[in-house]
Amino acid sequence: MNERERLLAMADRVLRLEAESIAALRDRLDDRFVEAVGLLRRCRGRVIVTGMGKSGLIGRKIAATLASTGTPAYFLHPAEGVHGDIGMMAREDVVLALSNSGETDEVLAVLPAIKRLGVSLILLTGSTASTLAGQADVVLDVGVGEEACPMNLAPTSSTTAALAMGDALAMALLDLRGVRAEDYAALHPRGSLGWKALGKVGDLMRTGDTVPVVREGASMKEAIEEMSAKNLGMTTVVDASGRLVGVITDGDLRRHHLSHGDLLDRRAGDCMTANPKRIGADELAARALALMEGVVTSLVIVDETGRPAGVIHIHDILRAKII
């Protein structure tokens, strides 16, 4: 076996073993998982995640996931805990500890403080007969048959399994709390996550005099002038009452010119696309983008009377980085 084949074989082994470690957790889902979720849901304080070494790194990610999905949480380094940081823990908190062996000295050292405060303890471990397991209120078995490390030493499969179980707890809590996309985005106000979930059509649409409008009886010369003046590659077409009846786009101009020749003496109502796509001002801009892509470049927003209230162009959404 050459070096290339050996590298690919090793990568395949790692991915297979780690995938198997996650798949094995599915058969262990039972009332203990439900009880753990219940403890976390009823927590009136914060979820304190703790663990040492690689388990601690996984714990930091689990704490971050919980916090970002509506469950107040923070990570407590157990070694720092016994040097004063345990003071951050309060009686209404719940501790979520990670220890593959269940015998981690630093985690065991904070156990007396946990018990003294009467704080509930949930343990993710690979050893359900360990010292920590014997002291925990709920034990979730995340043990693996084999580490992906070829020496079966470096935490690999075991940390992957613990991370996946942490995600399962967080997502179950998210579902129970009824967290919506808007709630999630409120915790991510910067960047594309926030914009994607919170950005509304009404925040980005063109309004007032920037909206191109012609009557259906207007000449195509007038329609083209309006399209050129408003620079959106389209114009709305309204009836005598001002209600939207159609749109004319650059594509319509080309198609009608090829089919009927000179357009300038024709009427807007003859060349428009009737019943155009539209969207509400309160809808997500991400949905507007989904409606546009590959089909149109603009959507019309109408008011309660059916009159054009605004237009949103695909470039408005892309500039706002809702992608």
Total-model pTM: 0.66
CA distance 280 to 18: 46
Beta bridge partners, 312, equal 299
pLDDT category at 190 given cuts 50, 70, 90 is: low
Q: How many other CB atoms are found less than 10 A from the CB of residue 275?
A: 10
Structure tokens that stand for 50 in this block: 């703790």
Indicate if the pLDDT at residue 323 is higher than 70: no
The closest of 266, 317, 273 to 292, measured between CA atoms, is 317
DSSP β-bridge partners for residue 139: 123
pLDDT score recorded for residue 296? 86
Mean pLDDT of 48-57: 96
Question: 85-114: per-residue pLDDT in tens?
Answer: 888 899 999 999 999 999 999 999 999 999
> What's the CA dihedral at 20, 21, 22, 25 to 10 degrees?
110
| pLDDT for res 164 | 98
Q: Give the model's pLDDT for residue 126.
A: 97
Give CA–CA dist 176/40, Å, rounded.
11
Q: Are 197 and 286 in contact (CB under 8 A)?
A: yes
pLDDT at 197: 54
**Percent of the chain beyond pLDDT 90?**
70
pLDDT over 80 at 195, yes or no: no
Listed residue (304, 260, 285, 267) closest to 248, CA to CA? 267
Instruction: Assign 321 a pLDDT band (cuts: 50, 70, 90).
Output: low
Return all residues near 60 (Cβ < 8 A) that are at least 6 apart: 49, 75
CA atoms of 74 and 91, how far apart (whole Å) = 15
Diameter of the chain by CA atoms? 89
Whether 61 shows a pLDDT value over 90: the answer reads: yes
Please report which confidence band the pLDDT of residue 31 belongs to, taking 50, 70 and 90 as the band edges.
very high
Residue 189's pLDDT is: 52
Q: What is the mean pLDDT of the chain?
A: 90
> Going from the N-terminus, what domains does the chain have, and what CATH number goes with each?
3-179 (3.40.50.10490), 201-319 (3.10.580.10)
Q: Does the pLDDT value for residue 121 go beyond 80?
A: yes
Strand 308-313 to 298-302 pairing: antiparallel
Assigned token pair, 115: 């018990």
For 157-175, how does the pLDDT look when each residue is reduced to its tens digit (9 = 90+)?
Answer: 999 999 999 999 999 999 9
Instruction: Give which of 74, 123, 63 is closest to 97, Cα–Cα.
Output: 123
CA distances from 284 to 177, 291, 305 (A): 22, 11, 22
Which whole number is the average pLDDT over 214-219?
A: 94
Range 208-231 average pLDDT: 93
